[in-house]
Chains A and B, each alone.
Chain A
Amino acid sequence: MRTVKHVTCPVCGCLCDDLELTIKDEKVVKVKNGCALCKAKFLGYSKHRVLKPLVRKNGRFFEVSYEEAVSRAAEILTEANYPLLYGWSMTSCEAVSAGIELAEEIGGVIDTTSTLCHGPSTLGIQDVGISSATLGQVRHRADLIVYWGSNPLIAHPRHMERYTIFRKGRFQKEKRKLIVVDVRKTETAETADIFLQIKPNMDYEVLQALRALIRDQELDVDEVAGIPTERLEEIADTMVECRFGALFFGSGLTMTRGKNRNIDAVLSLVSDLNKLTKFIAMPMRGHFNVTGADMILTWQTGYPYAVDFSLGYPRYNPGETSAVDILLREESDAALVVASDPVASLPRKAAEHLAENPLIVVDPHMSATARMADVVLPSTFVGIESGGTAYRMDHVPLPLKKIVEPPEGILSDEEILRIILSEVKRKKAEQMENP
């Protein structure tokens, strides 16, 4: 038995780094400080594991060596004209870095799961900017917390405990006020001081109404999205009167009608509020390293997701170079999926095109996507069996630890991608020699 302290949790964007794990026989047997999601991962990850590389032949999987699987993967990728490299939000920055180099080498497109959750947030930020802060700044100073279209008690279970409602800060010892805006009374909404239940698809209208109200404009309607105007005035006053407000928004805002326009509106509202008080906004990023994938793509290519290397340099045009669009237009002719399960998460029409073409999956689990693959490369669990770096939702980088040994012979995402890359390079050099 041994214990490992200060472990970073590889589950959600809160990236809590205070876990204490008890290890027995190279297995995690106890988790201290973690939430239910975290415990589920540490105690349950080793089930449904793939332990041998698989290659599909005549419709069936056959166990092969890494060499053979990698060689097949490299063959698929070098032969493809427009391969898609998708996923990346549940692995280390180091693996993403290898993935970007691979995408560049084969002239493919690299896109992350951002495209399916906070892609519109990024577009909103690119339109208007974002007034933001790290979570500790919120903890030390915020007296007003707003969750809009996000349900932290479920999706980010320790967010409120560590950073907002249930935690004291240097300048904020009293209870903070909590406003929740959603289309139904979520678990989080039940704890709120003020809950605004708005009609679906009408966030934009509510946000614009609030923008008008904080500028002291009168609204000449009685209600917006089912909320009486007086109620909105009350909310606007609460926002203006706080000392430091923090608004967290989730996919309730990015996935509904308006998408990036909703984000433009929420970020503009927060920006406007800074004329009157201090206010920050933050997207509630889901997967534990989706922020890291954005970050590293941005510094290496200039763009955060949906990066297309087919012309030899990075291009970015979500709607054109983003995964779902490429799949719906049936343009890609092969795909590599790392640390994600698009067959379970993409609209079916997009998933179909993904599955119809040669598909390589790097994943520790037999996921729905792996089930469709032509090559499955089993990998370690990042943050449990291999280390690296990940980014918290507020862009704070934290170390991921290797806590236990992986099953014998199993490689990490980063290692697998590096060998695919060198195999691709070797194959390309070979082709140059004997065209």
Chain B
Amino acid sequence: MKVILVTGRTVKQGFWKEYGKFSKAYMESVSVCYMDARDMERLGIKDGTNVQVSTKHGSTILKALKSTRGKHSGIIFVPYGPWINGVVDPETDSVGMPSFKGTQAEVEPAPEKPVLSLEELLKKQFRKLNR
């Protein structure tokens, strides 16, 4: 399903990052994807099902959660963090700022694929840790 990806701050992400980024709580607070209930229905997924979010820049596995923030069909919301950074548009439009909000993305159900821990994610993404 085609959606617009918006990344941003959430209360949990703000809270748990103060406890350290390798904590499970931090991971659980940012490796999620808030979706409109109707969109979830359309995808045939439940609260808590894993989804794959992809753009032309990359893809990532996140846990889908039902948004409590009114209706926003066609928009998914993902907290700032390393899980989504491989997916956002790095283009800075010559002003130094990547496009963290409003990127075209594709969401599909991925119940079989696991959400990686930060350590796993970093190992997967960065060659340096595998030398």
**Chain B residues, CB < 8 A from A59:** 128-129, 131
* Nearest CB in chain A: distance from B23 CB, A: 7
**Chain A residues, CB < 8 A from B48:** none
Known A324-B92, A347-B85, A348-B86; contact A251-B101, beta-carbon cutoff 8 A: yes
Q: Which of A44, A123, A197 contacts B70 (CB under 8 A)?
A: A197
Interface residues of B in 78-111 (CB under 8 A from A): 80-82, 85-86, 88-90, 92-102
- In the complex, residue of chain B having the shortest beta-carbon distance to the beta carbon of A341: B21
Bitwise interface map of B from 100 to 131 toward A, beta carbon under 8 Å scored 1, else 0: 11100000000000000011001001111101
A257 located at the interface, meaning its Cβ lies under 8 Å from any Cβ of chain B in the complex: yes
**Chain A residues, CB < 8 A from B122:** 343, 368, 371-372
* Nearest CB in chain A: distance from B104 CB, A: 10
CB pair A116–B97 under 8 Å, yes or no, is yes
* Nearest CB in chain A: distance from B101 CB, A: 4
Give the CA-CA distance A374 to B19 in the complex, in Å: 23
CB pair A347–B89 under 8 Å, yes or no, is yes
**Chain B residues, CB < 8 A from A286:** 9
* Nearest CB in chain B: distance from A127 CB, A: 11
CB pair A252–B8 under 8 Å, yes or no, is yes
Interface residues of A in 103-135 (CB under 8 A from B): 115-116, 119-120, 123
Q: Which of A48, A155, A352, A356 contacts B22 (CB under 8 A)?
A: A48
Give the CA-CA distance A220 to B8 in the complex, in Å: 34
* Nearest CB in chain B: distance from A123 CB, A: 6
Interface of B is mostly: loop
CB pair A184–B77 under 8 Å, yes or no, is yes
Q: How many A-B residue pairs have CB under 8 A?
A: 182
**Chain A residues, CB < 8 A from B93:** 259, 319
CB pair B21–A183 under 8 Å, yes or no, is no
Give the CA-CA distance A40 to B57 in the complex, in Å: 34
Number of interface residues of B (CB under 8 A): 53
Interface residues of A in 237-278 (CB under 8 A from B): 251-252, 254-257, 259-260
**Chain B residues, CB < 8 A from A350:** 90, 98
CB pair A36–B11 under 8 Å, yes or no, is yes
CB pair B57–A347 under 8 Å, yes or no, is yes
A151 located at the interface, meaning its Cβ lies under 8 Å from any Cβ of chain B in the complex: yes
B: residues with CB less than 8 A from A are 4, 6-11, 14-16, 18-23, 57-58, 67, 69-72, 75, 77, 80-82, 85-86, 88-90, 92-102, 118-119, 122, 125-129, 131
A: residues with CB less than 8 A from B are 11, 36-37, 40-41, 44-45, 47-48, 59, 115-116, 119-120, 123, 151, 154-155, 157, 183-187, 189, 197, 200-201, 251-252, 254-257, 259-260, 286, 306, 318-320, 322-325, 328, 341, 343-352, 355-356, 365-368, 371-372
Top-4 shortest CB links A-B: A48-B20, A185-B70, A322-B96, A347-B90
